[in-house]
Structure 1
């Protein structure tokens, strides 16, 4: 189903936001923060309505077939930085099936995923400080978004300024083309506004 708008209640992402902040706060230049979750919700007319997230085990550093995939395809294509096992997330397949089944029992669908991008140009190792990221997809993100085929791929960008954390969100449809330079289509995000006290 095609939808150009993402409807989000801030509470739907609160567990993911807490995990992302915890990861960001604990990271070091050698141990990048990583946070990833499945987005669950409903299609409504021209929109995808995110209602909650689901977490699953990351097997990026523990599964032999995943390690081989990174060694043979990911690292040669996207760079040596992906040799660091903290880079990237690979969801445990049985847990994804469990999350999907639980969502269906609640009348929800798997819409896609959300993951964290930190201000790596400030907090990463000196040799990677030129690597600017944001809520926009990286080439690796585009590759993964295309591979999953999910209609919604969100990126939470976190940065520290003047001692406080700030964030922005991006929402993306997967690339329509398999060419390496194919881009993702930006989706509009609408965050639910509290109506208490409105006259």
Structure 2
């Protein structure tokens, strides 16, 4: 039975949120923010419990096979914007193996990944201001989610409003192999509630 619920203490994403905010504040219209991490945790009877994140090196701009994949498949299918090496994330395989091995030694599993979507319609280049993203997957996200096969794919949407930064989260199961262009199935996120001081 596939899990439809994600259980999480908000503190489990603290390191990722800090990285996403750093990226967001440093970005320019030519250099989009990018933040990506592996989600580590446990499967329970009917849920996935996220306990922490793991970071790995991005080889999107440096590995020849990744560059070839983007040139041959990604850019023709999803658009010229992906020619910008700052678009997309490709985890270094040896580091993913290290993260997986260390997690298993601690009784944890790789559940999936999380990445950042910014309010690009406000901060992107003028010719891309019509592109509105959110915590929902883009066609490119659906492609990558299906390729990874991970059961949990989270997107943190970050936007500036009223002088402050705000975020929302989405959690998604990948499209099925039978229907690769189908929508991702939304998963329910349940955040741990502090009980101290509650009646």
TM-score, with length taken from structure 2 = 0.98
Task: Tell me how far apart the structure 2 counterparts of residues 139 and 120 of structure 1 sit (CA, whole Å).
Answer: 16
* Stretches (4+) displaced over 2 A: 177-181
Counterpart check, 1:158 vs 2:149:
no
Partner in structure 2 of residue 37 of structure 1 = 37
Structural RMSD (CA): 0.9
Task: Tell me how far apart the structure 2 counterparts of residues 124 and 179 of structure 1 sit (CA, whole Å).
Answer: 32
Partner in structure 2 of residue 195 of structure 1 = 195
Partner in structure 1 of residue 113 of structure 2 = 113
Partner in structure 1 of residue 134 of structure 2 = 134
Counterpart check, 1:48 vs 2:48:
yes
Aligned residues: 199
Task: Tell me how far apart the structure 2 counterparts of residues 195 and 176 of structure 1 sit (CA, whole Å).
Answer: 38
Task: Tell me how far apart the structure 1 counterparts of residues 179 and 185 of structure 2 sit (CA, whole Å).
Answer: 14
Partner in structure 2 of residue 102 of structure 1 = 102
Task: Tell me how far apart the structure 2 counterparts of residues 178 and 36 of structure 1 sit (CA, whole Å).
Answer: 27
Task: Tell me how far apart the structure 2 counterparts of residues 175 and 28 of structure 1 sit (CA, whole Å).
Answer: 32
Q: CA deviation at 1:179?
A: 4.1
SS in 2 for 1:137: coil
Task: Tell me how far apart the structure 2 counterparts of residues 44 and 135 of structure 1 sit (CA, whole Å).
Answer: 25
Q: Unpaired segments of 5 or more residues in structure 2?
A: none
Partner in structure 1 of residue 14 of structure 2 = 14
Task: Tell me how far apart the structure 2 counterparts of residues 156 and 63 of structure 1 sit (CA, whole Å).
Answer: 26
Partner in structure 1 of residue 185 of structure 2 = 185
Q: CA deviation at 1:163?
A: 1.1
Task: Tell me how far apart the structure 2 counterparts of residues 111 and 192 of structure 1 sit (CA, whole Å).
Answer: 18
Partner in structure 1 of residue 168 of structure 2 = 168
Counterpart check, 1:123 vs 2:123:
yes
Q: CA deviation at 1:124?
A: 0.2
Task: Tell me how far apart the structure 2 counterparts of residues 26 and 162 of structure 1 sit (CA, whole Å).
Answer: 19
Partner in structure 1 of residue 72 of structure 2 = 72
Does the Cα contact within 8 Å between 2:146 and 2:180 map onto a contact in 1? no
Q: CA deviation at 1:180?
A: 5.0
Q: CA deviation at 1:2?
A: 1.2
TM-score, with length taken from structure 1 = 0.98
